[in-house]
Amino acid sequence: MTTPALITLGTRGSPLAVAQTEILAAALKEAHPELAADGAIAIKTITTSGDKIQDRALLEAGGKGLFIKEIEEALFAGEIDMAVHSMKDVPAEMPPEGELACILPREDPRDAFISVKYASLKDLPDGATLGTAGIRRKAFALAQRPDLKIVLFRGNVGTRLEKLKNGEADATFLAVAGLKRLGLEEKITAALEPSEILPAAGQGAIGVEIRTGDDRCKNYLAPLHCKKTALCIAAERGVVAVLDASCRTPIGAFATRDSNGATLTLRAAVATEDGTEFWQGSKTLPASTEAEAEKFGRILGQELRKKIPEDVFKKITGRA
């Protein structure tokens, strides 16, 4: 008779999502010998609404939570014990039934510029095509290069790279972290510094959601939690919470800690979808807890919010 798994991890079925879940599984096994036994950890792949929708941008289909909705449903139904998420896909407000119990050390948070023919965003010729499905990448690219033509690129990393190879666009953006985790780092033409294209809040970080009050899973995850990463992510998500950002809002947020860990520097930016209007800000403040970091993020978010005309804010957040 097969022994039931001690822990079941739930994830999207894409190669990147599975690779990220395997990173978590390996860390759990290293921290807890009992989980290293054969079959102690099971991985359940779940198709999300975001995976099913390939013919239009996510903002037309309901926004960011589409990549975690079905995974959370499985978690709350007891079908899985831990839900593994890319933090950039997790809405700022968590449901009461779930809690983020662990954030793993962050991989490279930058966006990658990828092109077969051109070395950088600025090297693209006038009227070149940029393939992306992300509204942040679209808006921030157009803010710098309003001449670009944006074409819809949906699908997983491999699908997007194949579309680029087939000439469906002159260039595309993908997350550096995802390419590294898939062993595709050689595909990167140039890694874009945050000063060039500000990353999405949480980009490059893996988060683990559990059922609220599940002390067994929380204890398993406690040794894996990276406080440094969690502080930065909390600040970034604080900005997002104030600006009501989902996949409907072109927003970037990126936090770093100083060398002694005493203060956070947070940068954030918001744009209209066509990139014609752009607001940004930065702030450095002390933060030693995730609650302080989130509050810090909310302060910067409120400062940005005051800069944006009410009619424009309603439009970019989908409230108009």
Q: So which residues are the catalytic ones?
A: 89
Annotate 256-285 with b (16+ C-beta within 10 A) or e (fewer). ebeeeeeebebbbbbbbbebeeebebebeb
**What span, in angstroms and rounded, lies between the C-alpha atoms of 193 and 182?**
21
Calculate helix-pair angle for 157-165, 15-31, nearest 10 degrees: 140
Residue pair 211/272 in contact (Cβ under 8 Å)? The answer is no
Q: Rounded to the nearest 5°, which phi and psi values hold at 103?
A: -125, 125
77: three-class secondary structure by DSSP: coil
Give the rounded distance of the alpha carbon of 216 from its chain centre.
27
Torsion angle (degrees, nearest 10) of CA 216, 218, 224, 228:
-170
Cβ neighbour number for residue 188 with a 10 Å cutoff:
18
Tokens (6 digits) for 294: 């989130």
Quick one: 183 exposed, middle or buried, by C-beta within 10 A (0-12, 13-18, 19+)? exposed
Residue pair 238/297 in contact (Cβ under 8 Å)? The answer is yes
Cβ neighbour number for residue 129 with a 10 Å cutoff:
16
Q: Which residues contact 12 (CB under 8 A, 6 or more apart)?
A: 18, 45, 46, 47, 48, 50, 51, 67, 71
